[in-house]
Structure 1
Amino acid sequence: MTTAAAPAPPATMRAERFAGTGRLVRLAVRRDRIRLPVWLVALTAILAFSASSVAGLYPTAAELRTVAVASAASPVALATNGLVSGYTTGAVLASQIVMPLALAAGLMTILLVVRHTRQNEETGSAELIGSAVVGRQALLTAALTVAVATNVILGAVGGFVLVVQGFPVSGSVALGAAVAGAGLAFAAVAAVAAQITDGARTANGLAGAALGVAFLLRAVGDMTGTVTGDGTRVVAGWLSWLSPIGWAEQIRPYDDNAWWVLLLPLVFSVAAGAVAVVLTGRRDIGSGLVPTRPGPARAPRGLATATGSAWRIQRTIWFWWAFGIVVLALVYGAVADQIDDFLGDGDQGDELLADLGGGGVSDLIDAYFAAIFAMMAVAVAGYAVQALLRMRGEETAGRLEPVLATALSRPRWMLAHVGLVTVGIVALQALTGAAMGLGHGLIVGDAPGHVGRLTGAALVFAPAILVVAGAVVLFIGALPAWSIALSWGVLAICLVIGLFGPLLGIPETVRNVSPFTHIPAVPAAAITAGPLVVLAVIAVALCAAGVMAFRRRDLTMS
């Protein structure tokens, strides 16, 4: 007589669900042995350079107080930099760097978690790994473990670098912890997004949309805050408390060092991470909780063309970016009439707007629009990078080779994508100007006039964005293995030296590397055609070189 085996105890069953996590962690680290160090070194270098720049630009307490007062009174500075919490060197540094670093840490973590969860399932790697002794939740747990470790390292190294540069220890640790906390929160967001969707692109888009909403909530909350005390401190509005990026700011490094605020991202991360772990047991590998809707029985006639196929691939990302751009532009336009009230009669606020916008200050509202257009143009360049890298995704996923086995040539396929992204860039810039003009016009009157004027001003930035797009095309064609890192690296350089260069004291010769530096500060400055024509020629040359390189190289599957 045989005896049935006793069921495994609950503790053993729980342990089996996480079996193999350690090996998967080592595998993820090995796969990202180049990506993660590049991210960490780049973000740490930005922090170190910003710290030295602030210390060099504002050596006296009077100068620090002046820039703090101007930043606290400017909705532009609050939207693009962050909360102001005093006028020590550390406090001024925190007001300028915590938000950008928290945003970058969130993006880094989203890409990391989705790559090691949903992308593994999409490419079939997860099913292959699952055939070994690997638990159901091991893949997700390993991805979250790597994400947590990466953000902890980022926070620790960042804090150490600041201490070495002479900043107070407590504030340096608080700043590093604030950035790490934001990264942890978006790791959990990405983990949940990877369970809901059935594709890596959709998961990245959903988590990226959450990142954009967090930025918007933080920006509106900071802009609607109140200036207190001696004018060097801003109490944010309640919307900032709904954003993980806002939580990072509320720690207020080098001022309050509010450690208790760290509980918000920690609790959120644990709760959302636990939800993601539970959701992994309620779906099949390769599928999402929200199933993909079946397509029509017959494909549209246009889908058989290169442009129709490219539009099918590109359309979702454009609509998401258009939605975010319109909302941001409406908000920025609606508060433009408050610039004079915020800045008063002081010269420091005028100079700050001139630095941000790159132009004169004869009209403060136009200088404000110039600063916002510069920031939004870099955001649209982010769309261009993400959209064009879809071509690389099609290649590595193995979907491109069957397409090119037909009569479709490589140049036609690539030019279809480049053409659509070019149209998308122009459309997003037009939407930026129109929405900003509408928001401002509805407040002050004459909406049609402001819409037309600001739409034209926004379109002036299109050539600079196209140069970034051309560089991405060149990277995909000539350096496919490095195209993702190089493309986002170019955007980061444009953001740091082009947008924040004047505030950080970056020499003009270095700032000239960014195409955005050569755009006139419209509508505060007159339009000069020369730089725009040169940028357009450079963009065409880069695209042509990328297409020719793509035509001659082998396709890759990794």
Structure 2
Amino acid sequence: MSMQGVGILLAAALRRDRLTLLLWVVGVAGLWAAGVGGVGAAFDEEARGGIVALLSAQPALLMFRGAPAGTTLGAVMFVSTYSYLAVMVAFMMTFFAVRHSRGDEDAGRAELVRGTAVGRWAPLVSTVLAGAIELLVVCGATFAASVALGLPAQGSAMLAAALFGVGIAAMLVGLLAGQVFPTSRAASGAASIVVGVWFFTRGIGDALGEPSADLTRVESAWPSWASPIGWGALAHPFADEPWAPDGTPLLLFLAAAAVLGAVVVALESRRELGRSLLAERPGRGAGSALLGWRPAGAPVGLTGRLLLGASVGWAVVGLVMGLLAGRMAPIVADALESNPALGAIVTQLGEEGGGDTEGTFITALAGILSVVASAAAMQAVLRLRHEEQAHGELVLATPVRRSGWLGSHLLLGALTALAILAVFTVVTGASLAANDDDRWGQLVDIAVTHLPLVAIYLAVGAALVAFLPSTVAWLGWVLLIGLMLVGEFAPLFGDAWEWIENLSPFHWVANPLAAQPDWTGSWWLLGIAAALLTASALRFRRRDALV
């Protein structure tokens, strides 16, 4: 029978992911619970009204937080965290889907399973069921935490439903990517790009939204309807009068699931095991002379070739972000100038150094891009562990020094991050210059302020490879995303949580828009990075290559 073996494959998938699932439950439900508890204790209704007014006056905040729909505790928490929770759930499910589909095929596990008494559709069905169960656990924990902290049950249920819908859509995108692309790495990258498009499409719709006269709500523009993350936001689960929660946008998840599911089934029914819609290109018969370039025993040519595809992909992200910043910044500024209430708030902020609307918007986008650049730099270094396990003996049998091997990955990681920031700066500056807005000096300052972050995460990658090589698959990304979220949300919890905010390197980035930027934190970050790199180089030279 075509479904034979679904039960045992489902149990195996759930057992395999038990620890990963626990981390996602703590991350998603824990972030929501901590936020609700912190904001509820630190801000009364008047203070929450000030937060909402600030959001309404800053399109950069609308892009990354969301469009507010009231001043209740639930409404403020939803606009502050929903977009990030949705992205976390989406990444959880895309990684899950690729790992259990294309990842198993790459590792040979799928072929072993197909060699037993299982039905033709059992692997796909068990993967979908396991993903739905894991998603139910995460969303159920979020719902339980929300109700336990006193938020309305209806709004909490709509929040859980929105996250569940985003997760299902993301899982189907991951399954689709696993059928289209020939490797799990390419499939994960493509699915992640789709999630990023969802986030920024929703963000553009919110940034271009129309604020209400009392600055307690923002009516999102049409791009929000083009994003699954936007559908959950448009439901406004915790909205107060005169708005009310509206579950209609959530119905779009059913349509998306039906369409994506039909495409996945159609491809699966026609695809042979191990094949993909896009075939993997065969390599050339002879490599370039640069492939063997080893200055001072560092395989720079080989490392550059291995990282070329990823580096180009990261640079494209910088290009897209630069186009977005250059095109959106003038539109956002014009929208604020046409609204007197928002103009008054921006003028008040200007007295505190934040009145440059275009500069603030570009800086906010550059902040997100700094996460991308740090991720690119760290990924380049972490790739060394994969190469060490797969081809370590072969590489070290050539005239390659261990310190040079590490140095080549550090060099290419740094160059990739610099390319991302440079592309963003040039594209943004050229777009603004076309509108007679010369901001080249400011853009360079913005890029320079984020270089210490790149240095820190280069060093973190090197430290993990040298000291904790068994953790490179997950710990680096936890430190990147987790500390970013700490820096983003700790201010909502009041002064009592300031010590947690200080743990995040993102908190210490200098403000390039300030009259006199404080570079103290940046110098500390660079010093810590230098110490970590030195210790990592010494350790990597001495530890066993196959440890």
Q: Does 1:140 align with 2:128?
A: no
Partner residue, 2:269:
281
Q: Does 1:436 align with 2:424?
A: no
Structure 1 residues 137 and 544, CA, compared in 2 at 3 Å: closer, same or farther? farther
Cα deviation, 1:473-492, whole Å, max 9, x if unaligned, reads 21222222222221111112
Partner residue, 1:48:
33
Task: Give 1:116 deviation, angstroms.
Answer: 1.3
Q: Does 1:546 align with 2:536?
A: yes
Structure 1 residues 138 and 239, CA, compared in 2 at 3 Å: closer, same or farther? same
Partner residue, 2:260:
272
Partner residue, 2:407:
415
Residue number among 254, 257, 261 corresponding to 2:249 in the alignment: 261
Cα deviation, 1:276-318, whole Å, max 9, x if unaligned, reads 2331232222221111122222111222342222222222222
Matches within 5 A, 1:475-490: 475-490=464-479
Q: Does 1:302 align with 2:290?
A: yes
Deviates more, 1:292-301 or 1:116-125: 292-301
Deviates more, 1:254-263 or 1:367-376: 367-376
Partner residue, 2:416:
424
AA aligned to 1:470 is A
Aligned to 2:211, the other structure's residue is in SS state strand
Q: Does 1:328 align with 2:321?
A: yes
Matches within 5 A, 1:211-290: 211-228=195-212, 230-255=214-239, 256-290=244-278
Contact map agreement 1:205 1:317 (CA 8 A) in 2: no
Task: Give 1:154 deviation, angstroms.
Answer: 1.2
Matches within 5 A, 1:392-471: 392-395=385-388, 398-443=390-435, 445-446=436-437, 449-471=438-460
Task: Give 1:395 deviation, angstroms.
Answer: 4.4
Q: Does 1:109 align with 2:109?
A: no
AA aligned to 1:35 is T
Residue number among 360, 369, 372 corresponding to 1:379 in the alignment: 372
Partner residue, 1:10:
none
Structure 1 residues 372 and 275, CA, compared in 2 at 3 Å: closer, same or farther? closer
Structure 1 residues 108 and 552, CA, compared in 2 at 3 Å: closer, same or farther? farther
Task: Give 1:525 deviation, angstroms.
Answer: 4.3
Partner residue, 1:523:
513
Q: Does 1:191 align with 2:184?
A: no
Task: Give 1:65 deviation, angstroms.
Answer: 2.5
Contact map agreement 1:20 1:133 (CA 8 A) in 2: yes
Residue number among 492, 500, 519 corresponding to 1:510 in the alignment: 500
AA aligned to 2:203 is A
Partner residue, 1:19:
4
Task: Give 1:348 deviation, angstroms.
Answer: 7.7
Structure 1 residues 188 and 350, CA, compared in 2 at 3 Å: closer, same or farther? farther
Partner residue, 1:99:
83
CA distance in 2: counterparts of 1:19 and 1:393, whole angstroms: 36
Cα deviation, 1:376-434, whole Å, max 9, x if unaligned, reads 322322333444333333345x3444333433343322221121011111221222233
Count of residues in correspondence between the two structures: 532
Q: What is the root-mean-square deviation in Å for CA atoms of aligned residues?
A: 2.5
Q: Does 1:533 align with 2:533?
A: no
Task: Give 1:120 deviation, angstroms.
Answer: 1.1
Partner residue, 2:384:
391
Structure 1 residues 400 and 215, CA, compared in 2 at 3 Å: closer, same or farther? farther
Partner residue, 1:118:
102
Task: Give 1:346 deviation, angstroms.
Answer: 3.6
AA aligned to 2:368 is M
Structure 1 residues 349 and 368, CA, compared in 2 at 3 Å: closer, same or farther? farther
Deviates more, 1:68-77 or 1:369-378: 369-378
AA aligned to 2:249 is V
AA aligned to 1:524 is A
- Relative to the length of structure 1, the TM-score reads 0.88
Deviates more, 1:129-138 or 1:92-101: 129-138
Contact map agreement 1:411 1:551 (CA 8 A) in 2: yes
Partner residue, 2:148:
164
Cα deviation, 1:168-207, whole Å, max 9, x if unaligned, reads 1111111122122111111000000000111011001111
CA distance in 2: counterparts of 1:529 and 1:59, whole angstroms: 34
Structure 1 residues 129 and 402, CA, compared in 2 at 3 Å: closer, same or farther? farther
- Relative to the length of structure 2, the TM-score reads 0.90
Seq. identity, %: 30
Structure 1 residues 525 and 282, CA, compared in 2 at 3 Å: closer, same or farther? farther
Structure 1 residues 280 and 413, CA, compared in 2 at 3 Å: closer, same or farther? farther
Structure 1 residues 279 and 206, CA, compared in 2 at 3 Å: closer, same or farther? same
Deviates more, 1:165-174 or 1:462-471: 462-471
Task: Give 1:365 deviation, angstroms.
Answer: 4.1
Aligned to 1:288, the other structure's residue is in SS state coil
CA distance in 1: counterparts of 2:85 and 2:324, whole angstroms: 23
CA distance in 2: counterparts of 1:154 and 1:532, whole angstroms: 37
Structure 1 residues 250 and 229, CA, compared in 2 at 3 Å: closer, same or farther? same
Matches within 5 A, 1:342-361: 344-347=342-345, 360-361=353-354
Contact map agreement 1:374 1:499 (CA 8 A) in 2: no
Structure 1 residues 145 and 401, CA, compared in 2 at 3 Å: closer, same or farther? farther
AA aligned to 1:182 is V
CA distance in 1: counterparts of 2:538 and 2:120, whole angstroms: 45
CA distance in 2: counterparts of 1:148 and 1:550, whole angstroms: 42
CA distance in 2: counterparts of 1:86 and 1:196, whole angstroms: 43
Partner residue, 1:4:
none
CA distance in 1: counterparts of 2:105 and 2:393, whole angstroms: 21
Aligned to 2:473, the other structure's residue is in SS state helix
- For structure 1, the 5+ residue unaligned runs are 1-15
Task: Give 1:529 deviation, angstroms.
Answer: 4.7
Cα deviation, 1:48-98, whole Å, max 9, x if unaligned, reads 1111222233212x3323322321232111111012112211111111111
AA aligned to 1:532 is S
Structure 1 residues 529 and 232, CA, compared in 2 at 3 Å: closer, same or farther? closer
